Amino acid sequence: MTNVTYTEDNIRSLDWKEHIRIRPGMYIGKLGDGSSPDDGIYILLKEVIDNSIDEFVMGYGKNIDIKIDDSALEIRDYGRGIPLGKVIDCVSKINTGGKYDSKAFKKSVGLNGVGTKAVNALSEYFRVEAVREGKIKVAEFERGELIKDHKVVKSSEPDGTRIVFRPDTDIFKKFRFRSDYMESQLWNYAYLNAGLKLNFNGKTLVSKNGLLDLLERKTSKEQLRYPIIHMAGEDLEIALSHGNHYGEQYHSFVNGQNTTQGGTHLNALKEAIVKTIQEHFNKNYDRRDILTSIISAVSIRVEEPIFESQTKTKLGSTDMGPEGPTIRTFVVNFVKEKLDNFLHKNQETAKALEKRIRQSERERKEIAGIQKLANQRAKKANVHNKKLRDCRIHFSDNTRKVDEELRKATTVFITEGDSASGSITKARDVQTQAVFSLRGKPLNCYGLTKKVVYENEEFNLLQHALNIEDGLDELRYNRVVISTDADVDGMHIRLLLLTFFLQFFPDLVRNGHLFILETPLFRVRDKQQTFYCYNEEEKQAAVSKLRGKPEITRFKGLGEISPDEFGDFIGENIRLEPVILNEETDLDNVLSYYMGKNTPARQEFIIDNLRIEKDEAVAEEQQKEDEAAEAEASTEMAEA
């Protein structure tokens, strides 16, 4: 064994900047490139804006301006402004901030004094401006290092704080901000802070009715089985209804923070709804039937909340505060009183709610008979047919210590045919990447009931591979990636798979787990260099970089890409396009339009776009003829 020295010289102390930059995951979760809503660049925005929200909650400043310019973000609030003598300390000294004074920030979003320091350390440029009582203090940083300390001067600006930062490309490689993710993030702030105006790149986001507005915006009236029930108290607000969709849909918040992984408050809400409904109707309805197709939002304010990670996505607290009741008791008592009273006073809503529960009960019992056989068939197919080439680490595995970054990297590629799955299987990372191989084109399941998931072998095997039969709690892979050829057949299979997930497992999409794999269409190379191009523009750019006549290969399918090449496309350089459900998306309308009967509206769309494509082709041909004529005329003039 090699002797390794271990002395005082091996002990090293990192300053705050070094520690954050070396271990960014401890502060902002996964880095990512902006293709997922929980990527680090959006956590940076959250850490800054949380401070502005706290000012609003304390009664200071009703407007927040957010601007995005290329890769830089600017956030300006109109609160009290950071005390001028502590501006630099507040953004560059760990454990420094006003939130440690629990009287001033009793139920604040963040209490650890790290947020803006992490943003500062992880930004290639960071600027803070504080305005108080006619004076302004400005400081500029690069990667956490102070580069310019401006003197305090007079200012006519209103009180408040402005922060401008540009994420460091050394840490966030090839990132880009997605405005739809940012807008969704900002809308949540609006719902949780009625009356607050968020001005985002010229658009004003404001809510008057809190979580009632949230559910109304995220669902259409046609989707709901009864009007939204809205219950609000001093530290707890809840909105709920039932729809026609499969699964359960929740939006949970603690002190204004979107707890995407739930926690003690969400568990308490589910328990409270089940108990209250069972007691109200005096019937022992199954928990699954009560919660199936529910859509609900909950916001709770807790003193000094304990979260299970720095990114605050799951609440771990059990008590409302040092001297308060347990969260479970508080939520259960609130719902029992408010919801029970509401149902007694609104008999039509109560009847519609119970009717939906009975429908779920009938559907569950209908598929119970075939469910056991389908499960046995799925286990047998997985063992003997090898449809699933599994990985070693799984997203739902909490029984052993697994690095959080590895858990979040878990991916399953859904491929068409053996050739494509073979190439990906040979090139994949067996630790975190799995491959599921489809056989033939999936069924168009639009308008069908969930019974078809068990009756159709491909759908049943896919459901079991993902482990989503009973919801997302045991989801085996963080990223579910549709990996089909970029031809007509591949696009058709992609559409059929999208329909499957949106029809039966929309929560998978809403929670940001579904992606489309982008693979190169062209390989352009000579003896010295090789370029992989994802579109015509990239191909032309690659051709211009090579000398002489390069070899150009057009990949017709994934099976044509060798395993050695595939390693680049599913490794560090992977390109994933997230499947996003916008706030205003009406799932029923979208699926009906694209996957329903061949409606006149869809026929008209196809005809109009074919006409446009034809016109563009004619115009392009005419342009080529004109350019050729101009070149010939130019040559003749030169010769003359």
Q: What is the pLDDT of residues 111-147, one digit of tens each?
A: 444 688 999 999 999 999 999 999 999 999 999 999 9
The residue that leads in pLDDT, 466 or 311, is: 466
The least confident of 289-298, 350-359, 588-597 is 588-597
Q: Please state which CATH number belongs to domain 211-363.
A: 3.30.230.10
Looking at residue 111, its pLDDT comes to: 40
Are 260 and 307 within 8 A, CB to CB? no
Q: Is the pLDDT of residue 289 over 80?
A: yes
CA distance 512 to 303: 30
In whole angstroms, give the CA distance from residue 232 to residue 238: 6
Give percent of the chain above pLDDT 70: 84
Fold of 385-519+557-584: Rossmann fold (3.40.50)
Q: What is the mean pLDDT of residues 423-452?
A: 89
**And the tokens for 565?**
């090449």
In residues, how long is the chain? 640
Question: What's the average model confidence in pLDDT over 212-235?
Answer: 89
Task: Give domain limits for the chain.
Answer: 16-205, 211-363, 385-519+557-584, 520-554, 586-622
pLDDT mean over 336-350: 96
Name which CATH class applies to 16-205. Answer: alpha beta
Q: What is the pLDDT of residue 481?
A: 96
Tokens for 373?
Answer: 């056989």
Confidence bin at 94 (pLDDT 50/70/90): confident
Q: In terms of C-beta density within 10 A (0-12 exposed, 13-18 middle, 19 or more buried), how is residue 193 classed?
A: buried
Look at residue 215 and tell me whether its pLDDT is greater than 60: yes
User: Across-strand partners of 130?
Assistant: 137, 161
**What does the pLDDT look like over 363-379, one tens digit per residue?**
888 887 777 777 777 66
How far does CA 15 lie from the centroid of its chain? 32
Q: Report, as an integer, the average pLDDT of 560-573.
A: 82
Is 60 exceeded by the pLDDT of residue 103?
A: no
Cβ contacts of 499 within 8 Å, gap of 6 or more: 444, 445, 446, 591, 594, 595
pLDDT at 453: 87
- CA geometry: angle at 427 spanning 423 and 428, to 5°? 115
Domains 211-363 and 385-519+557-584 share a fold: no
